[in-house]
Chain A
Amino acid sequence: MKKTLLIFSVALVTLMSSCKKEEETPAPTLYERLGGVNAISAVVDQFIANVAANPKMVRTFKPLLDEVAAGKTTRVTALRNNLIDQIGQASGGPQVYKGKDMVTAHKGMKITDDEFNSLVNDLVMALDKFKVPTTEKNELLGVLGGLKGMIVNQ
């Protein structure tokens, strides 16, 4: 009787612990699938380079471009840091975005639909350069695309 009870309790504990293990391993986040902070910073660098060479971005990014042209890079570094944190947070990473909210950051710029699409295209080109799979790409663009209402026509 004692032996049966022991076998039964060992079996129960094994079963419970195996169930717990299954619960403990959640599906990898988009952040992890993208490759973490280094992969995100590589994408952000390419994105910033694309934006800086895009003639449609000159109107809105003029102060930043002027500073880069004058050899100062603190402003572009601040934007880069904010984008790393924002994309990191939006994709489920440990980052916490501490920059301005999207309405405040783009207030007074009167960004048009065309400009918004052109910037998103710069991001798509950056993601394509690093061969980010379609699922991850669409997931990220979905998250960021949701911000359009806060950015366009402010």
Chain B
Amino acid sequence: MYLFILWRRNFKKKNQPTKSILRPLAVSTTKQPPIMKAILSKTLKTSAYTLAILFGAFVVYANWEPAPMHAYVKPISMTILKVNGLTDLGEANEVKEKVSKTSGVTACAANPASQLVSITFDPEQTSAQSLTQLVSNITNTDVQNASFEGVEPSGPECPVPHEYILAFERAKYALCFR
């Protein structure tokens, strides 16, 4: 057995390609030294394993418990419009009724005290622009996006943007198979 191993080693050594000094320069520069190659391949392998483990852990975490019910409800979009001159309750109710009946609108409120019209809608069926146009047509006025400038905010703010939290949640529910 020992002799066989010795013979194999010798055989390998003999059959290894000899390094030529006369190799073209272009080839020698592109070829990485074996140590660099080893480090690179090791780093790549480690990163791939780490990513695979992290992904696996995330899938386990996503499936730890069933997704909450809100994950099954269609997401909405929202727009708030300022309608100058909307001080009459009758007109506000008319706006509310007509907008509520529009396909894709999930809720509408029109308040004469603030002259604001707020609409929640399914973004796949309608858009903020078309709803602004609709309210403008009903009220015969120039409708603008509401602005809340000049109002002092109250209470502390979360330092993590809501987009990040929501994106994390959506990724989690996308990988939940329960």
What residues of chain A have their CB less than 8 Å away from a CB belonging to chain B?
37-38, 41-42, 45-46, 48-50, 52-55, 58-60, 62-63, 65-69, 71-78, 80-81, 84-85, 88, 93-96, 98, 106-110, 126
The prevalent SS among residues of B at the interface is: mixed
Contact across chains for B73 and A52 when beta carbons are under 8 A apart:
no
> A71 contacts which chain B residues (CB < 8 A)?
128
Q: Count residues of chain B with CB under 8 A from any CB of chain A.
A: 41
> A63 contacts which chain B residues (CB < 8 A)?
153, 157
B119 within 8 A of A: yes
A-B contact pairs, 11 of them (CB 8 A): A42-B107, A46-B107, A46-B109, A53-B118, A54-B111, A54-B114, A59-B154, A65-B148, A76-B78, A98-B68, A108-B156
> A67 contacts which chain B residues (CB < 8 A)?
162
CA distance A84 to B106 in the complex (A): 15
Shortest CB–CB separation between residue A7 and chain B, in angstroms?
A: 47
CA distance A34 to B134 in the complex (A): 32
CA distance A95 to B65 in the complex (A): 12
> A48 contacts which chain B residues (CB < 8 A)?
78, 107, 118, 120
B135 within 8 A of A: no
B143 within 8 A of A: no
> A96 contacts which chain B residues (CB < 8 A)?
68
Contact across chains for A60 and B155 when beta carbons are under 8 A apart:
yes
What 3 A-B pairs have minimum CB-CB distances, sorted nearest first?
A52-B118, A45-B107, A53-B111
> A52 contacts which chain B residues (CB < 8 A)?
78, 80, 109, 116, 118
Shortest CB–CB separation between residue B171 and chain A, in angstroms?
A: 14
Contact across chains for A85 and B68 when beta carbons are under 8 A apart:
yes
> A98 contacts which chain B residues (CB < 8 A)?
68
> B72 contacts which chain A residues (CB < 8 A)?
37
B152 within 8 A of A: yes
Shortest CB–CB separation between residue B124 and chain A, in angstroms?
A: 14
